[in-house]
Structure 1
Amino acid sequence: MKQIRTIILLLALVMLPLATMANEGGKEEKLDIPETVLEHLSDAYEWHIASYEGRSLSIPLPIIVRSGATGEWFVGTEHSLPAPFFFDATHHGKIYEKMPDGTTERPLDLSITKVVLQIWIAVVVLIVIFTCCARWYRRHDTLSEAPKGFVGAMELIVMTIHDDVVKSSIGEKEYKRFAPYLLSAFFFILTCNLVGLVPFFPGGVNVTGNINITLFLAVCTMLAINLFGNKEYWKDILWPNVPIFLKAIPLMPIIEIFGVFTKPFALMIRLFANMMAGHAVILSFTCVIFLGWTMGVGFGIGLNIFSGLMLLFMNCLELLVAFVQAYVFTLLSAVFIGLAHKEEEAE
């Protein structure tokens, strides 16, 4: 009980200055929680780090766009964006160009946005981790010495995904062709999920909560399924083993072809929705902490304690979700690929 009282007292001492700042001068700025949450979840051309007394500390990111009217390239930051280009608030702040005839078009945009930079950070983390693991294996004889510590944990994860997911789902004959892709997808999603839970730079960006990223991953899985599927797989789609009148309509082939696109669509939506929802809940509880002080100090302390406990619970839950979603995406991808390589059934 003494520890609980100490924690509550510390929370009150930390939140009290925030209440004073919020009510200073008798001016209260209304906090729009949905707008704040959507702003943090969306992509941006700068990386916002902190705000203090109306001033924002942010890192400007390079903007690279090509004009659709003149064909010229512009390289700079959002503060030096020339007149033909502008940020369209109705399209999530994306860059648009005003054409000579008065219409607006989306130019070719190759900018390094916040999501792109977070992906590069995740890739660098993966390169460092696996380079260190590979160095250990080069320096040790694995027949006489088993890896321990971090290297041992990484081997456990790799072999679990390799043997229990990839190999068992695809089969002994074909799994080696797809193991590199599936392992890469698993660790990429897991790393992006974990880095996204870090509440400060260089983390905090919800990469897998961006539908463009999950769309790309789903398309990669769809190509792996359909480009390398065997003849038995395509036979079940175009000429399935059903009564002839179902083939003549052709009802079943249409349903099967429709299923070719619904599988990657399910992968895309599942990963996107789960990761976006988790971050949205965490951000909402964070906003509630600041909103509580506008209702009075007494009410604010109780509300902030509740929000703090919920934030702790949600962050612990998101650690589990980060692994589960990476595992589920890899497992379903492996299952779908395995279904495209099934052997011909005997008559």
Structure 2
Amino acid sequence: MGVSLRKIIGLAGLFCLLTFAGLNTTFAAEKAGGEGEAFSPGDMITHHITDDYVWHFFDGHYGTLYLPVILYTDNGLEVFSSSNFYDEHHEKVAYGNYMIDHGHIKTLDGASVLDFSITKNVASMLVSIFLMLLVFLSIAKTYKKNPGEAPRGMQSFFEPIILFIKDEIAIPNIGEKKYKKFLPFLLTLFFFIWFNNLLGLMPGGANLTGNISVTFVLAFIVLIVTLASSGKAYWQHIFAMPGVPKPILLILIPIELIGILTKPFSLMVRLFANITAGHIIILSLLSLIFIFESVWIAPASVAFSIFMNFLELFVALLQAYIFTLLSAMYFGAAVEEAHH
């Protein structure tokens, strides 16, 4: 059974309305919580797009998840709840020899500390990994149970996407002979980015793929896979390009070597910038309601915010596709055989 377009549009609309409701509730709570203080959109936006040691789902004590803090110091391993860094008014306070300063835990006496804490982004990543395992292990089990039968349920939704990545991304860019060893990685890469892009748009969601550390690691893994898979022809086109005079090689070789690093760098920055920009735009539009404090601003602000939410649903899929496509192109260039 296929998934009808009407269902997809309905779910997307509900998704956007829930996102707006969650953001609006949070804004109202922040506005009401700071009596006598001017609303600061910059502080609010920064708070929502950066990592944290607590995870806010909605206002109130029961809407906050205090995450575990794991530190390694000269005294050994220390594990405690991040709730110790906040008082009853949710103001930051020092705990023992530690304090949170600009999103990082530091010691009061200046001693070194290694931070292995489960932050909001780490917790969100674990949630996305659990969802991916739940979905794809269930699909694999169904395939084994009903081999050769028409897809049903989640199969009917994910199978066209998997076949699209195989037939339109992996095979054309890597080749019919060598695509199979890269396909599992490309599928994992695509769905990991897509799932986390969508989770970041949900009320209370973490901005995981808008964290440059995360996009750096993804791009670095792509670089390692590319270099590890590269053959003789790949390096020959860098250090001894056929038909190019040797004096010209002195110019082209440094450019090609720099190009090896700029390709993953572009992957890192593109994903980070697009996802973060979308969050900032939506939050900025909703901030206009509290900046102007006018009922006339609210309809336009809400309308544009809902439109941006729909657009971000498309961007979430598009950025996963672009990252996967470019990765496949880099792999294809690495394993391409020499042409004589």
Question: Structure 2-normalised TM-score?
Answer: 0.84
Match of 1:43 in 2: 51
Displacement of 1:104 in angstroms is 5.6
2:100 equivalent to 1:87: yes
C-alpha separation between the residues in 2 aligned to 1:125 and 1:135?
A: 15
2:127 equivalent to 1:121: yes
Distance 1:23 1:280, change over 3 A: closer
> Identity percentage over the alignment?
36
C-alpha separation between the residues in 1 aligned to 2:31 and 2:297?
A: 16
Match of 1:260 in 2: 260
SS in 2 for 1:223: helix
Displacement of 1:239 in angstroms is 2.1
Residue-by-residue CA offset, 1:15-57 (whole Å, 9 max, x unaligned):
9xx99x9799xx65311001100111010011122336xx784
Displacement of 1:234 in angstroms is 0.8
Displacement of 1:78 in angstroms is 2.6
SS in 2 for 1:311: helix
Range with greater deviation from structure 2 (316-325 or 336-345): 336-345
Match of 2:76 among 72, 79, 101: 72
After the TM superposition, which residues 234-273 of structure 1 pair with which residues of structure 2 at under 5 Å, given as runs?
234-241=235-242, 242-247=244-249, 250-273=250-273
Match of 2:326 in 1: 332
Cα RMSD after superposing both structures: 2.3
Match of 2:337 among 326, 343, 347: 343
C-alpha separation between the residues in 2 aligned to 1:190 and 1:134?
A: 20
C-alpha separation between the residues in 2 aligned to 1:32 and 1:42?
A: 16
Residue-by-residue CA offset, 1:134-163 (whole Å, 9 max, x unaligned):
222122231xx3113431121000000011
Aligned residue identity for 1:83: G
Displacement of 1:167 in angstroms is 1.3
Aligned residue identity for 1:87: I
Distance 1:98 1:234, change over 3 A: farther
> Is contact 2:70-2:115 (8 Å) kept?
yes
Match of 1:162 among 161, 166, 169: 166
Distance 1:51 1:291, change over 3 A: farther
C-alpha separation between the residues in 1 aligned to 2:195 and 2:270?
A: 18
C-alpha separation between the residues in 2 aligned to 1:308 and 1:262?
A: 39
SS in 1 for 2:295: helix
Question: Structure 1-normalised TM-score?
Answer: 0.82
Aligned residue identity for 1:129: V
2:109 equivalent to 1:108: no
After the TM superposition, which residues 153-302 of structure 1 pair with which residues of structure 2 at under 5 Å, given as runs?
153-200=157-204, 204-241=205-242, 242-247=244-249, 250-293=250-293, 300-302=294-296
C-alpha separation between the residues in 2 aligned to 1:274 and 1:319?
A: 12
C-alpha separation between the residues in 1 aligned to 2:36 and 2:301?
A: 21
Displacement of 1:85 in angstroms is 2.3
> Is contact 2:31-2:39 (8 Å) kept?
no
Displacement of 1:327 in angstroms is 0.2
The number of equivalent residue pairs is 304
C-alpha separation between the residues in 2 aligned to 1:193 and 1:331?
A: 17
Higher relative contact order (CA 8 A, sep 6+): 2
Aligned residue identity for 1:337: F
Q: Which has the larger radius of gyration?
A: 1
C-alpha separation between the residues in 2 aligned to 1:136 and 1:83?
A: 52
Displacement of 1:71 in angstroms is 4.4
Aligned residue identity for 2:99: F
> Is contact 2:57-2:203 (8 Å) kept?
no
Distance 1:76 1:151, change over 3 A: same
Moved runs in structure 1, 4+ residues, more than 6 A? 21-24
SS in 2 for 1:340: helix
> Is contact 1:48-1:56 (8 Å) kept?
no
2:43 equivalent to 1:30: no
Distance 1:332 1:61, change over 3 A: same
Displacement of 1:287 in angstroms is 2.1
C-alpha separation between the residues in 2 aligned to 1:36 and 1:132?
A: 39
> Is contact 2:198-2:313 (8 Å) kept?
yes
**Ranges in structure 2 where 5+ consecutive residues have no aligned partner:** 1-19, 86-94
> Is contact 1:240-1:252 (8 Å) kept?
no
SS in 2 for 1:208: coil
